[in-house]
Amino acid sequence: MERLKSCNPATGAVVGQVPITPVGDIPRMVARARAAQAPWGALGTRARAELLAGAAELFEARAERHAELITAEMGKPIKEALAEAKSLGSGLARELEEIVEALVPDQIEDGRARSTIFHDPLGVIGAITPWNFPMSMPSWMLIPSLAAGNTVVFKPSEETPLCGQAYADVLNEVLPEGVLIVVHGADEQGKAIVRSDVDMIAFTGSREVGKHIMREASSSLKRLVLELGGKDPMIVLEDADLEKAAKFAANNSFRNAGQVCVSTERIFVLDSVAEAFETALAGVAAAMSVGPGTEGSDIGPMVNARQRDHVLAQVNAAVAAGAKVLAGATHKDNYVAPTVLTGVADDMDIAREETFGPIACVTRVGSVDEAVERANDTVFGLGAVVFGKDEDQAAAVARRLTAGMIGINRPVGGVAGTPWVGARQSGFGFHKSKDGHRQFTQTRVMTRAL
């Protein structure tokens, strides 16, 4: 059987390998998942949640081993990898409780009849995930899918098959046979899952692949949850704490080497404070350490040479078109130094297409209206951030932005229980929250006379 080798982006060494799933086997695997669905669905939400909760201890016990694997396979600094690995177990009980509550049938009466609204399992879910959060992205999809009574055929990214397998191995220690089946491979295997007899595709990845999946899924009207890319703006208002804003911009542009869907990719700063902000940002960038994720550096390698070349091509084109380099713009092997560009114009590729690298792009604007207009001038709509001392004024600016999640003087993510949601072409459907969990179900209404 053909093997998929997983390589360490810091050293090039082979971390491990997995057998590639022959595309011809996928329909049989889906049939196996379908056969396992009826008994799994019949268990009931509470019983399934209790069973899945048993995985929390296993995730906790293996957190360090998982973190080492994340760093080895995709390069993120070990501290960030450990936070990701720990989150798998620590948040599980709360999330399962939220899913159980979300799926309790609702009742509505009108004096003559009573309707009950059920949230039944959909059937078999095809789950396809990216490499940038190689354990938490699978978790965000698999836990609500499984707890709702679906069985799952899961394909992790070809960049991080070992993380995907290790994640599924934990769940498979508590799940009955056939409820969670792993497929390994790249786009051919992903396409075969989309073509197969699954009832829903839950996908996190790029906008281009999301569009392809939507086209392919239309022939059988498969349900879709697509969490796609972003080009998140940050607006720095005149009264912003510039040191804080610069630190945030650096962290949110460079974290995980910029390979985060809600990375800050475009910064609009008011003219009067632009110079001070740019100087502070360049200072933070220059002080950051770049090196192997195992050695406590701030920024690890890019996931692979292709991603590095994509980032460098955008930077070089921007500089050729007039952008100025305030920090970075250098590289060695798969490492790209944290880079600050100023004078970025709206028609540059780096201002329009997702970069997914450690690059902070600053554009000066003359007014708040201009900042809002240019921030919204994108097909994406995942996150956005506004920095300003007067939080009511910052909130008023935030309400004019077209993104799905907006942070004021903080990152975009909402408190536990809120959705992780992209607007416009950053997503179709969303994750987390009661409404998010219900997407993995079929709503059915049964009405009887009173």
261 catalytic, yes or no? Answer: yes
> Is residue 327 involved in binding ligand NAD (CB under 6 A)?
no
Residue with tokens 């460079």: 254
> Shortest distance, CB of residue 421 to ligand NAD, whole angstroms?
9
Burial environment of residue 42 by CB neighbours within 10 A (0 to 12, 13 to 18, 19 or more): exposed
The four Cα atoms 37, 96, 255, 11 give a dihedral, to 10 degrees, of: -50
Mask of contacts with ligand NAD, 331-360, x by CB under 6 A? Answer: -----------------------x-x----
Any idea what DSSP says for residue 105? P
Closest Cα to residue 302, out of 327, 330, 336, 331? 336
Binding-site member from 51, 282, 382, 386 for ligand NAD (CB under 6 A): 382
Q: Is 186 in the site for ligand NAD (CB under 6 A)?
A: yes
Cα–Cα distance between 113 and 170 in angstroms, integer? 46
Measured CA angle at 83 (ends 303, 339), to 5 deg:
45
* DSSP class per residue in 57-68: HHHHHTHHHHHH
- Residues contacting ligand NAD: total by CB under 6 A: 32
Site for ligand NAD in 120-149 (CB under 6 A): 128-133, 137
Question: What is the DSSP secondary structure assignment for residue 22, as one 8-state letter?
Answer: P
Site string for ligand NAD, 86-125 (x = CB under 6 A): ----------------------------------------
b/e for 56-79, b at 16 or more Cβ within 10 A?
A: bebbeebbeebbbbbbbbbbbbbe
- Give min distance, CB of 275 to ligand NAD, in A: 31
| Residue 155 binds to ligand NAD (criterion: CB under 6 A) | yes
**Beta 232-236 vs 427-428: how paired, if at all?**
unpaired
Catalytic residue among 84, 227, 265, 354: 227
> Contact between 194 and ligand NAD (CB under 6 A)?
yes
53 binds ligand NAD (CB under 6 A): no
**Of 260 and 284, which has the nearer Cβ to ligand NAD?**
260
CB of 234 to ligand NAD, least distance (A): 16
Could you say which of 199, 227, 265, 278 contacts ligand NAD (CB under 6 A)? 227
Please say whether the beta carbons of 103 and 438 come within 8 A: yes
Looking at beta carbons only, is 293 or 422 nearer to ligand NAD? 422
Please, what is the minimum distance in Å from the beta carbon of residue 426 to ligand NAD? 6
Instruction: Report the C-alpha gap between 167 and 84 in whole angstroms.
Output: 12
CB of 20 to ligand NAD, least distance (A): 12
Question: Looking at 206, 294, 304, 376, which residue binds ligand NAD (CB under 6 A)?
Answer: 206
Catalytic residue, candidates 98, 261, 265, 278: 261
Instruction: Answer yes or no whether residue 230 interacts with ligand NAD by CB under 6 A.
Output: yes
- Residue 287 identity: A
Near ligand NAD by CB under 6 A: residue from 157, 297, 342, 439: 157
Binding to ligand NAD (CB under 6 A) within 424-443 occurs at: 427
**For residue 333, which amino acid is it?**
D
Q: Do residues 177 and 36 touch, judged by C-beta distance below 8 A?
A: yes
Q: Which of 123, 178, 205, 436 binds ligand NAD (CB under 6 A)?
A: 205
Q: Is 227 a catalytic residue?
A: yes
Contact 183, 26 (CB under 8 A): yes
Q: Which residue has the tokens 């949850």?
A: 225
User: In this chain, which stretch among 62-70, 80-88, 103-111, 187-195 interacts with ligand NAD, using CB under 6 A?
Assistant: 187-195
Q: How far is the CB of 157 from ligand NAD (least distance, A)?
A: 4
N- to C-terminal Cα separation, the chain: 61
> Shortest Cβ contact with ligand NAD: which residue?
190
Q: Where are the beta strands (DSSP E) in 323-374?
A: 324-327, 331-332, 335-336, 339-342, 359-365
**Spatial CB neighbours of 380, under 8 Å, sequence gap ≥ 6:** 207, 229, 230, 231, 232, 354, 422, 424, 425, 426
- Which of residues 161, 229, 358, 404 is near ligand NAD by CB under 6 A? 229
Nearer to ligand NAD, 147 or 228 (CB): 228
Decide if residue 211 touches ligand NAD (CB under 6 A).
Answer: no
Do 378 and 282 contact (CB within 8 A), yes or no? no
Q: Mind telling me the catalytic residues?
A: 227, 261
Footprint on this chain of ligand NAD (rule: CB under 6 A): 128-133, 137, 155, 157-158, 186-187, 190-191, 194, 204-206, 209, 212-213, 227-230, 261, 354, 356, 382, 420, 422, 427
